Structure 1
Amino acid sequence: MNIIFVCKRYYTGKDVIRHRFGRLYEIPTQLARLGHDILVLCLDYRNKNHQEGFTEQFGSGSVKWIIVPIRNILNFEFTANYRTIKSMQATLIIGSSDIPCLWLSRHLSNCLGAYYIVDLYDNYESFGQARIPWFKRSLRASIKAANAIIVVSSTLKTKIMRDYSPTGSVLVMNNGIDAGSFSIGDRLEARISLRLPLQGRLIGTAGNLSRMKGLDTVYDAWHELQETTENTYLVLAGKTDPKLPLPTGERVIYLGEILENEIVQLFRALDVGIVPGHDSAFGRYCFPQKLFEMIACGLPVVAAKVGAIEDALHMNPAILFAPGDHKILAKTINLQLEYPQLPNIKPMQWNELIRDIESIIKNLI
């Protein structure tokens, strides 16, 4: 099957192409491994990289990447790309990553007479671009017109069914993990590799260290923990928020923005991983990727009782804390440090998830 996949190049602080990262890389790649030919229109909003497109071969399938600077679209310099798109003779268009990509996918579907699927890896209403006039209307029209909608969580499916009244089927496909990377390892070796304290008790998290992600609650809990504990350290990694300064002190360790293999080592090094979140338009519907990566590394966790996080950990209420309640978070961390419990959850790998979705796509076509 010939498939066109439309997405943005940069998301969650990563370059989909250079880092071969996440859902936007795995969906086309895993479909190609199943024998399909994929053309990826990768929109570059930064207009920084002049890298030409390239093709990756996976057995009988392939992924051809076309990098499209957004200025080319704004300046109507899209003719050459459209010729390539038309020659693909695609049966299916999949739009993902944000509102403009969904809009473009819908219009390509109309022009090419192809089936059209929307992939929602988040609640796109919570993105800043949704405040631009007409963008929410475009999002609604794109979802309404889709032959099928893939969503990242059950809570997001409920919202889409309730608020959008889609005509197509709504399917849940969580994010997967790379089991070759995120797996149980030696804690001491991990601490040595990251130059972390060998004897202390380490708590922490990695990712976007912002208020939107609930890090304000983590920092408030730490202010309480550092007064009541002596040998506990807070370890943080990821992009910081200028409006939310990191806590300070001898027992706060900031590793900076680290690579995926170092995140794996961090999750192996910690005693307790923290998965924060707020009861917000973002927190209720996002997928807790770090939760599943931590669990895959054998790390006990504490997590906010909200959305997909609560759904995943409903059998482990003792490790959940009310969003925004730093006092309960501090108590829950202490409980996990003293009596650690690991949820009985088996994170799925990308190839398993995409194989399930492929069968649905075939039935649609």
Structure 2
Amino acid sequence: MRLLLISKRSPQQRDLIERPYGRFHHIAAELASRGHEVQVLLCSHRSLPSSRIRIANVDWLSSDVRTLGIGSFLRELNQYAAEFEPDWIVGMSDIYYGWIASRIGRAMGARVAIDAYDNYEAYMPWNLPLHLLWRRSIRTADLVTAAGPQLAQRLQSHRRDGHPVEVIPMAADPEFRPLDKQACRRVLGLPAERHLIGYVGSWGRNRGTAMLIDAFRRARALRPDLQLVLSGKPPPEALAEPGILCTGYLSDAQMPNLINALDVACVVTADTSFGRYSYPAKLCEAMACNVPVVATNTEPVSWMLAGDADHLVHHGDAAGFAERMLDLLDRPRAEYGPRPTWNMHSKQFEHLLITLSRQ
């Protein structure tokens, strides 16, 4: 098959040309490895020049709406698609690209698939016209896939004639695997003998990170040797808390070391229009490394953890979160069962495309 994927160039703040990762890269690369011709149109708004590069047997073509202007930008995408003559056009990574995939697919007579890993409507709740275009794209697409059953159920309400939304879950990238804890601590300069809790997600008032700091404070009152490791640029109030260690921004290659250096990894999501459909990649990564996890009990996170109460705490329950942190400290490793991979998910996606192509 000839497969054309359309995505933003930098989903989750990672440039797919400079820092390939996740479902955006690995599904395309795995499909190409099985003999399909794959191109990916990457869309940006950073005043970048148009470019073409080949990575993992996939042609990655980049267009920038600020550089070209909206009219020339859409014409360039149409031109790329017309030259490639795809059997399928797949919109990924954002609400815009579902609409663009649908638009180009109708013009070319190609089949259209849309893949969603988040509730994109939560990003811009005020942009109702764009939401209507997104829902129309979902309704008319030949195939819709979602990162989990909760999101699939939400998208199902927009489908035409009850065509099912299929689940293609999140997975950890291949570099996330169990590594020696002490070796990882030495690489990162982290204390060898302390108990280390870690959080590597985003910060925000509506995310529940204030609860995380409260929980750590409670846990440290009982275990004074406990330290909380943060990466990136946490807010000043977090850095001011006693017992906090901040690594700053780490390279992609160092992130598996950080996860494996931890005694317990924390995953915090909120009961919001975004959090109720969020399937955190950081949870996949910790599970792939067999690191014990304590996580807020949203439906998607509970589904990812198979409802295991040893790892789940109600959102906002700082005391319960602290108790679960301390309970998990004594587990050297966690066993989550066989973990899904991007290879497995791409085979599932390929099967869906082939099956629908024959109908």
Which band: TM-score by shorter chain? over 0.9
In the alignment, which residue of structure 2 is the partner of 1:164?
A: 158
AA matched with 1:256: G
> Any idea what SS the aligned residue of 1:258 has?
coil
Which residue of structure 1 aligns with residue 49 of structure 2? Answer: 50
SS at match of 2:285: helix
Match in the other structure for 1:273: 265
- Residues of 1 paired with 2:332 and 2:312: CA distance? 13
Matched, 1:207 2:225: no
Q: Which amino acid aligns with 1:276?
A: V
Indicate whether 1:113 and 2:109 are aligned. Answer: yes
| Superposed displacement of residue 249, structure 1 | 3.9
Is the contact made by 2:91 and 2:115 (CA closer than 8 Å) also made in structure 1?
A: yes
The equivalent residue for 1:263 is 255
Structure 1 340/158 Cα, relative in aligned 2: closer, same or farther at 3 Å?
A: farther
Matched, 1:96 2:95: no
Distance 1:322 1:80 in 2: 48
Match of 1:356 in 2: 348
What does residue 11 of structure 1 align with? 11
Task: For residue 126 of structure 1, report the CA deviation from its aligned partner.
Answer: 1.2
Q: Which amino acid aligns with 1:310?
A: S
CA offsets 1:40-95 (integer angstroms, 9 cap, x no match)? 11111222x3262123463xxxx222111012252435445433321211111100
1:325 and 2:321 aligned: no
Q: State the match for 1:131 in structure 2.
A: 126
Runs of 4+ in 1 over 4 A off after TM superposition: none
- Which of these residues, 139, 142, 149, is aligned with residue 144 of structure 1? 139
Question: For 1:136 and 1:77, how far apart are their aligned partners in 2?
Answer: 21
> Are the structure 2 counterparts of residues 245 and 137 from structure 1 closer, same or farther at C-alpha, using a change threshold of 3 Å?
farther
Using the TM superposition, give the Cα deviation of residue 358 of structure 1 relative to its aligned residue in structure 2, in angstroms: 0.2
Provide the residue aligned with 2:29 in structure 1: 29
SS for the counterpart of 1:235 is: strand
- 2-structure distance, mates of 1:197, 1:287: 31
Q: Is the 8 A contact 2:297 2:312 kept in 1?
A: yes
Shift of the 133–123 alpha-carbon distance from structure 1 to 2, 3 Å rule, reads closer
Mean CA deviation greater in 96-105 or 253-262: 253-262
Instruction: Give the paired residue count.
Output: 355
Equivalent position of 1:82 in the other structure: 78
Report what 2:299 is aligned to.
307
CA distance in 2 between counterparts of 1:206 and 1:142 reads 34
The residue that corresponds to 1:336 in the other structure is 328
Q: TM-score, normalised by structure 2?
A: 0.93
Aligned-partner Cα distance in 2 for 1:31–1:73: 32
Residue aligning to 2:218: 224
Alpha-carbon separation, structure 2, partners of 1:135 and 1:239: 32
Q: CA deviation at 1:133?
A: 3.9
Letter of the 2:121 partner, please give it: E
SS in 2 for 1:164: coil
1:65 and 2:60 matched: yes
Deviation of 1:200 after TM superposition, in Å, equals 0.6
Once the 2 structures are TM-superposed, how far is the Cα of residue 340 of structure 1 from its aligned partner? 6.2
1:189 aligns with 2:188: no
Structure 2 unpaired stretches of 5+: none
CA distance in 2, matches of 1:70, 1:158: 33
**Cα distance change on mapping 1:346 and 1:309 into 2, 3 Å:** same
Q: Deviations over 1:304-336 (max 9, x none)?
A: 111221113245212210012111111111111
CA distance in 2, matches of 1:329, 1:340: 19
Larger displacement relative to structure 2 (277-286 or 166-175) = 166-175
Query: In the alignment, which residue of structure 2 is the partner of 1:40?
Result: 40
1:248, distance to aligned residue in structure 2 (A): 1.8
Give the one of 134, 150, 153 matched to 1:155.
Answer: 150
The Cα offsets for residues 201-253 of structure 1, whole Å up to 9 and x where unpaired, read as 0001213233444322211212322333210000011354x5x8424245201
Take 2:15 and 2:27, find their aligned partners in 1: how far apart are those partners? Answer: 15
* Residue matched to 2:282: 290
1:219–1:247 Cα contact (<8 Å) kept: no
Distance apart, 1:267 and its partner CA:
1.3
* Separation in 2, partners of 1:73, 1:25: 26
CA distance 1:303–1:185, shift in 2 (3 Å): same
TM value normalised by structure 1: 0.91
